Amino acid sequence: MTADQEKKQAALEAVKFIKDNMVVGLGTGSTAKHMIEAVGDLVKNGMNLTCVPSSDATEKLARELGITIVELHEVDTIDVTIDGADEFDDNFQLIKGGGGALLREKILAWNTAYNIIIADSSKDVQKLGAFKLPVEVIPFATKQIFNYLQAEGLKPVQRMKEELPYRTDENNNILDIDISGVNDLQSLEIKLLKVPGIVETGLFLNTTSLIIVGKEGGPVVKHRN
């Protein structure tokens, strides 16, 4: 199976958890795209769903597919959110934000009763950190935070797009950092979030209930203990 076939298989398995009249959080990325298309099919087949998107790109695709989109403040809570990940480990810890949507994704995850992560098998790792951790920062403070992260040995790289600093949907910058040498992720998260101007990190340490991985022979469904 190709990685894309694994992504699609995981996405199709995940949408089975969506039931009529649910509020659904829609993730961002190439794996989430398969899920959004499958949600579009559920809606076409008559299911009544209200969806909250995690990015402008996801919102655009969902609207094109006829999915009812609302803003987060229009719902009390989200029943289920389905999203991708850049890496996950055996403890259901994730790195997210490769697609730049980490801030809204993390807000959706925090406000969701049941978070499902869908992924191809390459995202399954023993230890998080081969993928660089995205850190979303306010442009006013990007240079100072870059210098701080460098002094901390985290080798920041400012994310760029077409030779200009990348801007998220919230108009912030992203610094990608190397956490391969870090063992205590909880402490790192607390330390980073104390820095004025760091808005959010792509570490999702405690929100995921279920991980579905596409694999030859059928999807692997991992439940959090």
| Contacts with ligand 5RP, 49-88, as mask; x by CB under 6 A | ----------------------------------xxxx--
Q: Is 29 in the site for ligand 5RP (CB under 6 A)?
A: yes
Residues in the chain: 225
- Concerning whether 105 is annotated as a catalytic residue, the answer is yes
* Binding of residue 31 to ligand 5RP (CB under 6 A): yes
CB of residue 193 to ligand 5RP, shortest distance in Å? 18
Instruction: Pick the binder of ligand 5RP from 25, 53, 98, 214 (CB under 6 A).
Output: 98
Nearest-angstrom CA–CA distance, 174 and 176 = 6
Q: How far is the CB of 48 from ligand 5RP (least distance, A)?
A: 26
Regarding 101 and contact with ligand 5RP (CB under 6 A), the answer is yes
Which long-range contacts (C-beta less than 8 Å, at least 24 apart) are formed by 11-14? 11/35, 11/37, 11/38, 11/82, 11/118, 12/38, 13/118, 13/212, 13/219, 13/221, 14/82, 14/116, 14/118, 14/212
- How wide is the angle at C-alpha 210 spanned by C-alphas 95 and 222, nearest 5°? 100
Annotated catalytic residue: which of 13, 105, 136, 200?
A: 105
Binding site residues, ligand 5RP, CB under 6 A = 27-32, 83-86, 96-102, 105
The residues carrying an active-site annotation are 105
